[in-house]
Chains A and B, each alone.
Chain A
């Protein structure tokens, strides 16, 4: 199977290097009919295009979204495009990140112009080559649907026939991009290009990659994070399919020829670990520690006006403590990768969000030069941030080095949970006051939580911006605002989890807004709108959400909650309509209305809708059920029975409304998630009088 093609120009001869899991094959020019127009686009003699994208497809739709950007400017029919994932090479870096990395809801924003330019540059060359072939002036021709057409006579030549000529031309220095009215795909609900393969079971994920002679491998993770391996012994009998058991930096590796046996053999390994600081702690103890730390001094993240004075004098004030647990990403596909390592080359087939980090990790571990390391990105069975980490890549390469055979590292669900990289636990205390007019007079917000960036980047932060985001820059007009951060680090690995700080801060801020509205005796929508007065885009999404959900209409037996959050440059307001059964306290979620303002351009409205639906369901799932359990410092969630995620039964009706506005382009993969959590708990309050300040709701 061909996973990747690269083209080298050697002594004037085009040679395609086709790298397959079983080795490398060189195809000579006669066999190869693809011409490289530029780094992003190949066109074959048969007029089929191959485009290379530099972002990972984990469900969010870049496979379609980015391809559309290229094809639109290239004037090329989508059904004749094949999409490949690019290698981490200089020509493919995200220009704003300087690396290949998919995260932060930035793919379309960062690549919107570069990929259209790549398409336009290729089109310019093909137009020139086509005109030459037709023997007419370039200015008398146009391009359409993969062809160069002489306007007057209608004579046409397909790109494929002039691709070879175009591939030898110098790329234009400047290109002109289409006007918005001339877009053929951008802005339209183009169907997903990956659906068909995914429906037929043909899409290749990391777990679907095989290399001849491979060993399956897993890693026993530390019993408790923060401890190191002291010794281990292997109890007999060990199944005959097991080849090797040995320590690596990430734990204890087990290698064999049968994946089930490899996983089962974990129980044969009795390891002794050094003492960890978290021994004895349950998940409640992590929260408790953070609550205790609230009374200690932290660092000031924001100080506007005079909060202390206003709070002291205020007649109407309240305070509340909110707590949120560690969360597991629970990607459908567990962490895995397949590595083939030889003396002078390394190939890795990996579902990753971070190709450049993968490359650098391999370089560090093997000493190979970058150009001898090939990172073949597969489809990702979910990412949500987890796959931006390379812990599992390091495991696999260390194992491959030791066993001198190709290795398919494959975590069982149990190991996947034990491997950590959780959304951090988080606690905050908010004190607020309203004045006699019913407006917010002061807001004091103190967070006690681990620092995500200290773990992720290994640097020190006084105030971690990834912890206070959404609070420090709270969108509401508040004259006196004080935000403080108290760092509470634990040795549990933490990581980016879809929407990052916004999953904490949308919940706490938007819950407290409702608490203050009640204190002021105001309606939650009016109260928000009054405090968003100077923020036109925010007010608009709130207003439309209220209107579309018929906010002011009372429905018998039902209650509705609202929340607004601005994250990843996108504005989202959501309402959640629920009912609660008296006897069992069971929550029924009937309808979610989502109004999203992603800025001036909607590249694909249907993909936006999908991402809103996806974020809403993941948000509801986390609010209702999700919490990593700990017992005596050990991770005590194992599988979907002890880490339940939402099933189909809680699915509400979801109505998404997209409104565009002037301003910068916003992200889509993450901003749909945060507001649904407080919108739900605000609805529960209105239904039952019970204020949820600790998540998950069913704990």
Chain B
């Protein structure tokens, strides 16, 4: 099976219905993507599939074949979302943060200037036990601003 992750093509030999999350982590050792619930309830496992945020714990790996998979490791350090996250020191324990960042990237790719309500509805599925929500909201707004300025 061939998988395209962060622009690299991997050829892997794995169980076809294994969830993408576990292939990324246990086989490709891209461990930035995390497990939290296995039931699409927490968002820690969020990755981009052809640019759209998905829960990798729900996707059998065969369904990701032939698609562009992007994980946290594939987002460059100078991406406005990462810059904003660093600027506001969003992470606490950090475990949920890759998922938060991937979800935020999805939001900002569709909406250049999200309102608070739009941020909340886009991020609703991403839990954070450490309570970094206030900073996530601020960081998304800052990232949006950085993205607009870049243009």
Contacts and interface: CB of A to CB of B under 8 A. Distances in A.
Nearest to A216: B26
A332 B85 contact: no
Interface stretch (A196-204, A275-283, A515-523, A570-578): A196-204
Nearest to B123: A648
Nearest to A201: B32
Among A191, A200, A201, A618, chain B packs the most CB atoms within 10 A around the CB of A201
B39 A645 contact: no
Contact of B131 (A334, A613, A653): A613
Contact of A413 (B15, B36, B98, B136): B36
A202 B32 contact: yes
Contacts of A57: 93
A462 B128 CA distance: 39
Interface string B101-145: 100000000000000000110011111111111111100000000
B50 interface: no
Contact of B36 (A202, A210, A332): A332
Contacts of B129: 330-332, 382, 384, 618, 645
Contacts of B131: 613-618, 621, 646
A681 to B, nearest CB: 19
A331 B94 CA distance: 11
Contacts of A653: 134
B19 interface: yes
Q: Is the interface of A mostly helix, strand, loop or mixed?
A: loop
Contacts of A668: none
A221 B118 CA distance: 41
B26 A259 contact: yes
B133 A651 contact: yes
A376 B12 CA distance: 31
Contacts of A258: 15, 18, 22, 26
Contact of B135 (A58, A613, A641, A646): A613
A380 B96 CA distance: 12
Contacts of A647: 124-125, 127
Interface of B is mostly: loop
A194 B133 contact: no
Contacts of B26: 210, 258-259
A167 interface: no
A640 interface: yes
A205 interface: yes
Contact of B85 (A199, A640, A646): A199
A379 interface: yes
Given A200-B77, A201-B73, A332-B129, A640 B41 contact: yes
B92 A59 contact: yes
Contacts of A60: 92
A344 B53 CA distance: 47
B64 to A, nearest CB: 15
A199 B101 contact: yes
Contact of B132 (A207, A263, A614): A614
A533 B84 CA distance: 45
B99 to A, nearest CB: 10
B34 A382 contact: no
Interface of A: 57-61, 191-192, 194-205, 207-208, 210, 258-260, 263, 330-334, 379-384, 412-413, 606, 610, 613-618, 621, 639-641, 645-649, 651, 653-654
Top 5 nearest A-B pairs (CB, nearest first) are A201-B32, A617-B131, A381-B95, A198-B94, A59-B93
Given A197-B94, A412-B38, A641-B41, 13 more contacts: A195-B85, A199-B86, A207-B35, A260-B22, A331-B93, A332-B44, A413-B39, A613-B134, A615-B131, A640-B41, A646-B131, A649-B124, A651-B120
